[in-house]
Structure 1
Amino acid sequence: MYFAISCTQFKAGRSEEGEAYILEGTNIIKQNPNKLYENLFTFLEAVYVNNINEEQLGEVFQYLEQKQLFAYAEACFIVCADEYGKQGRFKEATAAYQKVLETQLKIQRGDCLYEF
């Protein structure tokens, strides 16, 4: 729940609120470890707090693809592409949209897991 709220806050331009929800979510993860949500919060931090930190993103996408969580990867690639576009980084945005298409193909072929 904190992931979705945080993401929504960032997309609406409310960075302080988004960061507060990341903090709340990561505090919950410390009490109740969950590798998926740990990576999803790292993703939000990499994109919105650390201005698209490529190293963090690489680790998150590696985890999602290794676990065949392509539906999550697709959503994250879309967010990345949008943020690259907002920054005028159109080459990176195009590459991210290409990853969206590749991920959608994997989903259509049934290569993914919908439940973790």
Structure 2
Amino acid sequence: GDLIAQAGFGTGDLRLHALKFGVILIKLLEWKDAPPAADPLADKLAGFRYLTFWVKDMEAAVDHLKAAGVELVCDILARVPERKLVFLKDPDGNLIELNWIDPAAA
């Protein structure tokens, strides 16, 4: 088949889908015969490796994820009242951060 399927996720050796949000572009890739995922943090290199999504309602987002069976890495963190964050892992173990800032404080 084609190396990359051109439309949507497709059926080639590499499936690709691009999500565009204004000037932000996120590319989702999946190899047809990929080996099992390794722990993305196993190499313990310096720096941060996670994808951040901003949410309008942290509690609703967390409730939705829990109802879908997603396990959170931590409880909602609120070091200051106008900001909340929480971490979870995707099925391959990649770290994802959900972030909320009170609109009145922005």
Shorter-chain TM-score range: under 0.3
Q: Which has the larger radius of gyration?
A: 2
* Bigger fraction of residues in strand: 2
